Structure 1
Amino acid sequence: IDPQQRLLLEVAWEALENAGLAPGQAKGTSTGVFIGISTNDYLQLGCRQGSDEEVDAYTGTGCAASIAAGRLSYVLGLHGPNFPIDTACSSALVAVHLACQSLRNRECHAAIAGGVSLILAPQSTIYFCKVRAVSPDGRCKTFDASADGYGRGEGCGMVVLKRLSDAQADGDNILAIIRGSAVNHDGRSSGLTVPNGVSQEALLRQALANAGVEARDVQYVEAHGTGT
C-alpha cells in the first residue's frame, strides 16, 4: 500500500479528533472526501524494481489515486461524494474548494478535505531539475530577484469542513471560516508550465468577490511562490 494512503488515514483520523468528532460518529453519514494527490512514486518504485510475477490483487488498490480517497470513505463508512484531485501543486487547495462547493450545494453534510505528497523515488526530482524548476541550492527565494527555483518537500494536511450553521448547532470546534474561494486555469502562456500573471490576478479578484471582501481588508497572505 502506498505510504500516502496510510498517511491520509492517519491524518484524517487526527483531523476528526481535532474537530471534536469521534471517527465512528461519521459512519453512515453523507460526509464527503476530497483528496489532492498528484504523485505516484510508490507505483514507480514497484514497476521499476519488481517483476510481473510480483503483481498481486492488492497492487492496483494499493497504488491508485482513486483508492487513496476511496479508502477513507471505506474505512470510516462515509456515503458522501468522494474525489481524488490532481491539479499538481494546487491539488489540496482545489480539493478544499470543491469540498466547499459540495457543502454549499448540500451534496454532503460534512467534508474531509486536504492533500498528501511524499517523495519516494528519484525520477520526479530528476525531471524537475532538468526543467530547471528546482533551485541548485535547494532554497526557495520566493518573490526575490535572485529566485532560481524551489526546494521540494513532503507533507499531508487535512481539514474537516461543515456549513457554519451546522457546525455551530453541533457545538463543533471551529478554527476558521472560509469566506470564499475560486479556481481557474492559466490557459495559454509562454509555456505549458509557465504561470500566467493576468489569469492569476483574475483568480485573486474572483476569490475576493466570492468572499465579499475588499483587497484592502486582507491582513495576511500565504502564497504558493515556487521561485521559478
Structure 2
Amino acid sequence: MIEIAYEALEKAGIPLDTIAGTKTGVFMGHFTSDYKEMIYRDPDNAPLYSITGACKTSLANRISWLWDLRGPSLTVDTACSSSLVALHLACQSLQTGDSDIAIVGGTSLLLNPEMFLYLSNQAFLSPDGKCKSFDESANGYGRGEGFGCVVLKRIDDAISVGDPIRAVIRGTGSNQDGHTKGFTLPSADAQAALIQETYRRARVDMKDTGYVEAH
C-alpha cells in the first residue's frame, strides 16, 4: 500500500518533502485479512513484527509514520463498502479542516482459501465465480484483488497551486440498512434513501447522471 500511495502522490504532483509534518490524512479501506490468517496459524514461529505488520490499523498508520503525516490516520472496515466509506470520511476531514490533503485507498488480496470457504458457506459467492449484477440469474459474486489510491484536496486549494485535477467529488454519503430480514441482507429502501439524500446535499439532479458504477 505504501508503494501505491507513493504513486498516487507522484501522479498528483505532490513531492513527499512538501507534506512531512502537514495535516495530511490517510484513510484506508480493508475487509478480509488473509495475510494475518496465514502468519497467525503458528504463533510459536510467527514473524517478530506480526502484530504491527498484519493489524488493520497499520495499513494507514504506517504510511503516516513513514512520511511524518499529521492528519487523521485510520483503516475502515465496512465489508464491501470499506474504501468508499474511507473516501466519505476523507471528504468530511477536508471539510472540517482536520486534513488539508487526504490519501485514500483500498486493498483486497486473496492469499488463502479459508475466506472463500467462509463466504461460500454463507452463499455469498457465485459457484461459477461470475457477477451477474441486475440479472435474474444472479447467484452471488466473484472475488477480485487489487489496490487503489487517490489523493484529495479541497478544490480551491488544488486550483490555487495548479494541481492536476482529474475529478471533482460533488458529494458523498453513508448510512446503514438497519434491521432487515437477515443480518447480511441489504435494504433497498435504505440504499435508495442514501442516494437521494446524497444527491440532494450535492445539489445535483439525478437526471444529469451520465454513468453509474455499482457494487
TM-score, normalised with respect to structure 2: 0.97
Work out whether residues 35 and 95 of structure 1, in 8 Å CA contact, stay in contact via their aligned partners in 2. yes
Verify: 1:38 aligned to 2:31, yes or no.
yes
Deviations, residues 32-78 of structure 1 (Å, cap 9, x unaligned): 00000111111111122x2x322354111010111111001011110
Q: Which runs of 4+ in 1 moved over 4 A?
A: none
Q: Distance in 2 between matches of 1:39 and 1:25?
A: 33
Verify: 1:75 aligned to 2:77, yes or no.
no
Q: Distance in 2 between matches of 1:44 and 1:151?
A: 21
TM-score, normalised with respect to structure 1: 0.92
**CA offset at residue 90 of structure 1?**
0.3
Worse-matched range after superposition: 65-74 or 39-48: 39-48
Q: Distance in 2 between matches of 1:99 and 1:129?
A: 33
Question: Percent identical across equivalent pairs?
Answer: 47
Equivalent residue runs for 1:1-228 within 5 Å:
8-48=1-41, 50=42, 52-224=43-215
Work out whether residues 85 and 94 of structure 1, in 8 Å CA contact, stay in contact via their aligned partners in 2. yes
**Tell me, which stretches of 5 or more residues in structure 1 are unaligned?**
1-7
1:145 partner letter = E
Q: Distance in 2 between matches of 1:35 and 1:144?
A: 31
**Tell me, which stretches of 5 or more residues in structure 2 are unaligned?**
none
Worse-matched range after superposition: 52-61 or 21-30: 52-61
**CA offset at residue 139 of structure 1?**
0.7
RMSD, aligned CA: 1.0
1:22 partner letter = P
Work out whether residues 167 and 174 of structure 1, in 8 Å CA contact, stay in contact via their aligned partners in 2. yes
Work out whether residues 182 and 210 of structure 1, in 8 Å CA contact, stay in contact via their aligned partners in 2. no
SS, match of residue 98 in structure 1: helix
